[in-house]
Amino acid sequence: MVLLTHLFGCTLQNSKSLVNITTTNLAFVRYASKRSSGSTRNSPTNLKPKHRGWKVQDGHYVQASTMLATQLRPRFHPGLYVGFGKNGTLYALEKGKVMVTCEKINPNMARSWAKLNYAGRENSVIYKKHFNIIPEPQHDRFVLIDTI
């Protein structure tokens, strides 16, 4: 840096400039050649919530095709008059009262989704919540055996 200052001062003397060599103080500034970008470490902060879980509580009355629960993994299972969507959504097939029960399941480990969700739990007892719909009004097609 000192060598460059001395060299620049010599060229100024040769050109007979009015600048004094002892008072010349040169500062070299390096500017950015590209714009700096922000950090992308925490960029996906504005994700929309999925609102998964129970949509209807136990004991409520629902219409047909009402969504009962949404889930990513099989946390809830369908029972009577309840459908199971491709994305794991449980929905009512009939209008009636919602009844949630806790039942034992025995998953078929030959299925790929059962291996994915219940791997390592083959010899254990698994309890899951089942959504059931009790239709209103119930049909009267039952006949007592004693009357036949």
pTM metric for this prediction: 0.61
Residue 6 lies in a domain: no
78 within some domain: yes
What residues make up the domain containing 97?
Answer: 53-134
Whole-number pLDDT of residue 29: 78
Provide the residue-wise pLDDT of the chain in tens; the chain has 148 residues: 565 566 656 665 655 555 555 555 667 777 777 776 666 666 667 788 899 999 999 999 999 999 999 999 889 999 999 999 989 999 999 999 999 999 999 988 888 888 898 998 888 999 999 999 999 876 677 778 886 6
Half-sphere exposure of 114 (CA within 13 A, CB side): 11
- The two structure tokens encoding residue 16: 């007979």
Contact indicator for 90, 75 with CB cutoff of 8 Å: no
pLDDT at 37 (0 to 100): 65
Q: Which of 99, 93, 102, 98 is nearest to 127 (CA)?
A: 102
Total structural domains within the chain: 1
Q: What is the CATH number of the domain that holds 57?
A: 2.40.50.100
Q: Which residue type occupies 134?
A: I
